[in-house]
Every structure is written in structure tokens, then in C-alpha cells.
């Protein structure tokens, strides 16, 4: 059996390892983390239970997609994987909205 076939079979019926080290990683914490992200992402982040993940798009203020990412819910945080080259810009945008949200209270 060719290597690809064995790898595919292992991924479908056993265990597989995917190298995701080239992706950017963001960890979002805080009591309102799900509500904070809910309005900025295209998927229903609030519906994710710990251990679940979903693809989503991060939108700008005009509803334009700025980056495609994957969101994972953990017990005490939300983890986001995105293209490494978009990590700094996405963090900058999140920080901007976090400051805005904090000032509103």
C-alpha cells in the first residue's frame, strides 16, 4: 500500500498528526471572550462547547473578510489559528475593539 493511502487510512480510522506550527496562534481570555468574538466572526462562537472548533472569517467594520481562521473553544479561553502573516494585524484589530468595548462600560 502506498504511503499516502496508509496515511489517509490512519487519519480516517486511527490517529494522524498534522503539523500546524506554521500557523499563527492567538489566545483570547476573559469572562466575555465569547460575546466579544461573536460579533466579529462569521461563525457562532457562543455555540462552541469546550473541545469544539469551527472555521470562521474575521470581518472589518464594513463586513469585509480580513482573514480566514479556525476558532477552538477551551474551558478557560478561545484559541484562534490563522495565517502567520495575519497574526499581528489581527491582534492589533482585536486590541482596538477591546479598548473600545472597555470604554463603553
CATH 1.10.10.10 fits 23-104, yes or no: no
C-alpha cell at 85: 502573516
Grid cell of 7 as nine digits: 496515511
Q: How many helices (H) and strands (E) does the chain have?
A: 3, 4
Predicted model pTM? 0.76
3/7 Cα distance (integer angstroms): 6
Identify the burial level of 78 via C-beta atoms within 10 angstroms of its C-beta, where 0-12 means exposed, 13-18 middle and 19 or more buried: buried
Per-residue pLDDT 10s for the chain (105 aa) are: 568 898 888 889 988 888 888 999 999 998 889 888 998 899 999 999 999 999 999 988 888 999 999 999 999 999 999 999 999 999 998 888 775 443 333
Cβ atoms 94, 41 nearer than 8 A: no
pLDDT for the residue numbered 65: 93
Q: Hey, where are the domains in the chain?
A: 23-104
Amino acid at each position: 500500500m502506498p504511503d499516502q493511502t496508509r496515511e489517509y487510512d490512519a487519519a480516517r480510522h486511527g490517529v494522524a498528526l498534522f503539523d500546524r506550527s506554521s500557523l499563527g496562534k492567538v489566545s483570547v481570555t476573559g469572562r466575555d471572550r465569547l460575546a466579544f468574538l461573536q460579533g466579529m466572526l462569521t461563525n457562532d462562537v457562543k455555540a462552541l462547547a469546550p473541545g469544539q472548533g469551527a472555521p470562521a472569517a474575521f470581518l472589518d467594520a464594513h463586513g469585509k473578510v480580513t482573514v480566514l481562521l479556525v476558532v477552538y473553544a477551551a474551558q478557560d479561553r478561545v484559541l484562534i489559528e490563522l495565517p502567520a502573516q495575519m497574526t499581528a494585524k489581527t491582534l492589533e484589530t482585536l486590541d482596538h475593539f477591546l479598548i473600545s468595548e472597555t470604554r463603553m462600560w
